[in-house]
Amino acid sequence: MSGGSMDQPDHPHARPAFRGILRRGAAAYAVLACAVLLLLGVPAQHAHADDPGAAISTRASQLGLGSATGGLVCGLRDGGCYQWYGTVGILWSPASGAQPSSPGAIRQAWVAQGYENGRLGYPTSAETCGLAAGGCRQTYQGGTLYWTASTGANAATPGAILQAWTAQGSENGRLGYPVGGEVCGLRDGGCYQMFAGGGILWSPASGAYASTPGAIRQAWVAQGYENGRLGYPTSGESCGLRDAGCVQSFQGGALYWTAASGAQPMTPGAIRQAWAAMGSEGGVLGYPLGPEVCGMRDGGCGQVFQGGSVYWSPSTGAQPSLPGAIRWAWGTRGYEAGPLGYPVGPEICQSGSCRQNFQRGFATWSAQDGARLAITALDTIVVNKKRPLSPIDYVPAPLETVGSTAMQSEAAAWARSLLADARAAGIGMTTVSGYRDYWSQASLYNSYVAQYGQAQADLISARPGYSEHQSGLALDIGDSSGACGLQACFENTGSGSWARDNAWRYGFIVRYPQGYTWATGYDYEPWHLRYVGRAAASAMRFNGIPTLEEFYALPAAPGY
């Protein structure tokens, strides 16, 4: 205590003999007062509002504390006084009446908070024990101190957090006893308090709600507590959902949990709306298996569920993709990164067949034909003997330097990375030819016709307007040894072998593979790399699709 503190001795100017007389007089008065009060039915601690000494003495007598062992000390906060009765101090103020402060953990916690000068103020009751788990409590003007052997003594102070805890059953509820005081200064002016069975968080916008131990809390913690995307809880955890699931709502979404799916977030937006429209966790999609993932092609996002996925892009909105042959066929072409792009509607089945529409085509299924893809538009330049460039003298822009040649800017950037990593691996890879304009290609093709005849020239060179080199997306590579330049044996050089195994990592494919002249129209060219982007290159490699004609479900192009 500061000022007149109940741990300080009596005032130094008080005469000991006079103090003794005061004590004996006070004790006698207390006995008489108690008898009168009991007859009148007046609680002793609330009597003598203008006589602190009498009030304290009466309360001591009521508690059976015997004689005072110290003098009455006044001048405390709010006009308060105190007096010692052995190890028990009785404090009085006009507002609180006379109440004891007994030795123990509760008293120590009150002392640590500043005695009557702290947030708790004066006691307003005696310490009461026999609570759940052998607990005790004592009320004060500014709250209540609770104690158990396992939690120690901690305060529960008035406000929204206390109200939320009380609504859950106080110390008898799921949260149990407080294990710390209320802590404020969180994001958005928030506060929290920890209890044996969890915590309660409060902010002006969210109100006060509990966060209890378990998978949902762990997932929320992993996202940064209230500082993460989910923010503060806006409800308690609710269980009893499908498959014994649970959910808790937050400012920035909700966390759903089942034993099979774990705890996963559902955040506001078009994907969540589409999931809700399909029945939420009770629908065909079931529970989420992971968070919403963005940064996909065309600024899109996706989220995986037990029963499928939902994909969203600015131009298509949120659409489902459910397990089955159509999804499998779409996946083999690179999902949204492939030629079909994003779904633009759900899969619809009727009369023994199914169909789903995509941005650049559609997929169908029937028991007789299986899954088939129809690509009606391409946003990637596929150039072959059936698909000339448009216009025929097309010039790409912008072009950037790659070694001794040039390519379209995106392709050039990845080509530079490919070359640098090959050299870092000890491979002497070089550039031979990249972009060639219409007239350069015409000159080269005519020279081959003059040298080999048109039939052979058409197997090793494209006619002007039909060349991948004119697109700015093709790159012929060589080996620093000079061996097997522009020959099939290039596959056995260090550069040829490294390109075959690694070019896909940079978005390149070997455009004219061995044994596929029937599809591409050209002989095997292990040196001819074509940039298609990493998503398409990866899909082609992992699904074993060697040519663009097959990947994009285009007709074979063996001739003009």
61-89 pLDDT per residue, tens = 999 999 999 999 999 999 999 999 999 99
pLDDT at position 552 is 86
- Which residues lie across from 529 on neighbouring strands? 475, 510
Q: Give me the mean pLDDT over the 514-541 stretch.
A: 95
Asked, as a colleague might, if the bond just before 391 is cis with ω within 30 of 0, I would say: yes
Last residue of a domain, one of 39, 73, 101: 101
Specify whether the CB–CB gap between 193 and 168 falls below 8 A.
no
What is the DSSP code (8-state) at residue 461? Answer: S
Domain CATH for 503: 3.30.1380.10
pLDDT at position 9 is 35
The single-letter code of the amino acid at 94 is P
Note the helical H segments in 263-400.
Answer: 270-277, 325-332
What total number of domains does the chain contain? 2
Higher-pLDDT residue of 360, 217: 217
Q: Give me the mean pLDDT over the 368-372 stretch.
A: 94
- Which residues lie across from 263 on neighbouring strands? 257
Q: Is residue 508 one of the residues assigned to a domain?
A: yes
Residue 369 to residue 231: CA distance in whole angstroms: 50
Specify whether the CB–CB gap between 418 and 412 falls below 8 A.
no
Q: Is residue 258 one of the residues assigned to a domain?
A: no
Last residue of a domain, one of 101, 124, 152: 101
Q: Which two tokens stand for residue 427?
A: 């491979």
Q: Is residue 446 one of the residues assigned to a domain?
A: yes
* pLDDT of residue 23 exceeding 80: no
**Considering just the CA atoms, what is the radius of gyration of the chain in Å?**
41
- In the sheet that holds 474-479, the strands lie side by side as 429-433, 474-479, 525-531, 508-512
Q: Is residue 470 one of the residues assigned to a domain?
A: yes
Q: Is residue 380 one of the residues assigned to a domain?
A: no
Q: Give me the mean pLDDT over the 202-226 stretch.
A: 98
* pLDDT of residue 33 exceeding 60: no
pLDDT tens-digit series, residues 151-200: 999 999 999 999 999 999 999 999 999 999 999 999 999 999 999 999 99
pLDDT tens-digit series, residues 458-504: 999 999 999 999 999 999 999 999 999 999 999 999 999 999 999 99
Residue 333 confidence class, pLDDT cut points 50, 70, 90: confident
Distances (CA, A) of 107 to 63, 69, 93, 100, 517: 17, 19, 18, 10, 91
Q: Is residue 63 one of the residues assigned to a domain?
A: yes
pLDDT at position 13 is 25
Q: Which domain holds residue 91?
A: 1-101
Q: Is residue 376 one of the residues assigned to a domain?
A: no
Q: Is residue 403 one of the residues assigned to a domain?
A: yes
> Over the chain, what is the mean pLDDT?
91
At which residue do the structure tokens 């307003």 appear? 124
Asked, as a colleague might, if the bond just before 398 is cis with ω within 30 of 0, I would say: yes
pLDDT at position 554 is 87
- When mean pLDDT is compared across 128-142, 490-504, 543-557, the lowest value belongs to 543-557
Last residue of a domain, one of 81, 101, 121: 101
